[in-house]
């Protein structure tokens, strides 16, 4: 997916520590945003019926 490729390009030169910090903060951001909306994060993937 092109979003994944762009993310890889942007973070290609980031240190492992920077990547871990970014992941931790992005996870927290998403969890807090969804909590404000009253939904869970990560969102469950839709199941096919």
pLDDT at 12: 98
| Contact assessment for residue 40 and residue 34, using Cβ atoms and an 8 Å cutoff | yes
Chain segment 20-43, per-residue pLDDT in tens:
999 999 999 999 999 999 998 888
Query: Which segments within 1-49 are labelled E, that is strand?
Result: none
Query: Interior CA angle at 31 toward 3 and 15, to 5°?
Result: 55
User: Looking at residues 11-15, what average pLDDT do you find?
Assistant: 98
Asked if residue 48 has pLDDT above 80, the reply is: no
pLDDT confidence tier of residue 45, bands split at 50, 70 and 90: confident
Q: Helices (H) and strands (E) in the chain — how many of each? A: 2, 0
Q: Measured in Å, how far apart are the chain's first and last C-alpha atoms?
A: 25
pLDDT at 49: 59
- Structure-token match 């199941």, residue found: 47
């Amino acid at each position: 997916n092109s979003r994944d490729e762009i993310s890889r390009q942007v973070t290609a030169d980031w240190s492992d520590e920077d990547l871990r910090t970014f992941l931790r903060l992005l996870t927290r951001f998403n969890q807090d945003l969804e909590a404000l909306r009253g939904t869970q994060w990560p969102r469950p993937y839709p199941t096919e019926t």
